Amino acid sequence: MNSLGQRIREFRLKKGLTQIELASGLCTASLISQIESDRARPSYKTLVALASRLDVPLEHLLKEVNFDLESSSKSKMARSMVRAREYQAAIPLLNDLLEIQQQRIPKEGLFLELVQCHIELGNALEAESLLNQLYQICNTERNDFLLADVLYYLGKVAALKNDYPIALFHTNRAWEELKTVEEIDADFQAKVLMQLASLHERVGKVAEAAKLYERALLLNQCNGEERGKAYLRLAEVYDRQKKHEQAQEFAMKATILLEEESTKEHMQEMQRRLLMLQRDSSDWNKSVQTLMSMAEQFEQDGKKQKAGEVYADLALICLENQEYDEAWAYAEKARMALSDTDSMMGEVHRVLSFVYFRREDENKGKKHLENAVKIFEQHGKIAELETVTLHMCRYLSDKGDHREAYERMEAFHHYMIKQLEQRGIIL
């Protein structure tokens, strides 16, 4: 393995930079010299800045690097990486720390940090294996705080695997464990309630989800951004229930908090979701202008996927306001930016089907409806699937194809029953 200094020098030379040029505006050239000769260690902040100056992702810069650090220093750097969401880069450091036999750092905490990294990266099996080890520790050494943490993360892993009944089981157990703990951690209680709310929302129990989101908001008074996200989720839940007045109220609260707390990138995503919640208002043209600017900015930044999602939103707003030519144009832009299997493509095909039926091009209209059905089925979007299925059945009935209309509705019914059973709901 190379040392960190050797690795930085290697990338500096590939970039064609002198030590003075690399250091400019970040630190002194002397410090760069000391770092490259392994006589000094950069802070996490300096390390991130150097990776950016060298145009290399942090995890690539640290790949196969031998960190000759004291345990406390290595732990501090690993935790800094986790907080900065540099999960891939943090994993090797956390693994190294877990292999050290004698140290003052509690291994349970390192396990949980490593679990979080794997969950955020979508590594469900790795996270589950670590949690099973922690669960065994809980069985031998009674630790209510640790058990609640383990159950909470087991719920996250099950949700990652789309196993919602198991996710609800573990998260409910985490909540019950928290009730037995004498010292109340309101922030962690809020996190568990938020997870329970999200899971209820995913299985279609939106009324229960709304109650849980509101309970979580009563507990969580600290983090403005997290509170803003909770308001936004609550607004979306009320929107699904057609309770538009409550949806608007919480959407406005979310707007105020997220404008104050979020990063630019995160704020753009939140703003997009808020605009879609508010699209029923009379000033929908203003929403279109804002979304257009957002899509153009994403394109300039090379974020094709994000631009495609915004164009899909624009297509839907224009369709709802009977601007069919504009809806078609935005839907086609979305098709160019999104992959064929992207969940947003279901909405794109739905918009295009309405436009082509409006133009009396029945073949293209039916083709896009069928594509929308397939995508919504693949992604388990029951509400959206119901909408396009009803539209397809109405179209077939109007054409006199009553048998096919019946068969499609019957197929949707069986699909819905199967999906609900998978989510722990038996009718």
**pLDDT tens digits for range 355-414:** 998 888 988 988 998 899 888 888 777 777 778 888 778 877 887 888 888 887 888 777
Q: Output the average pLDDT for the chain.
A: 82
Name the most confidently modeled range: 98-102, 111-115, 135-139.
111-115
Name the strand (E) or helix (H) holding 392. helix 382-398
Task: Supply the pTM of this predicted model.
Answer: 0.62
Q: Is the pLDDT of residue 159 over 50?
A: yes
pLDDT (0 to 100) of residue 44:
75
- Mean pLDDT is highest, among 143-147, 184-188, 300-304, for 300-304
Mean pLDDT of 327-331: 93
154 against 49, higher pLDDT = 154
Least confident range from 33-37, 276-280, 294-298: namely: 276-280
CATH class of 316-427: mainly alpha
Per-domain boundaries in the chain: 316-427
Q: What is the band of 427 on the pLDDT scale with cuts at 50, 70, 90?
A: very low
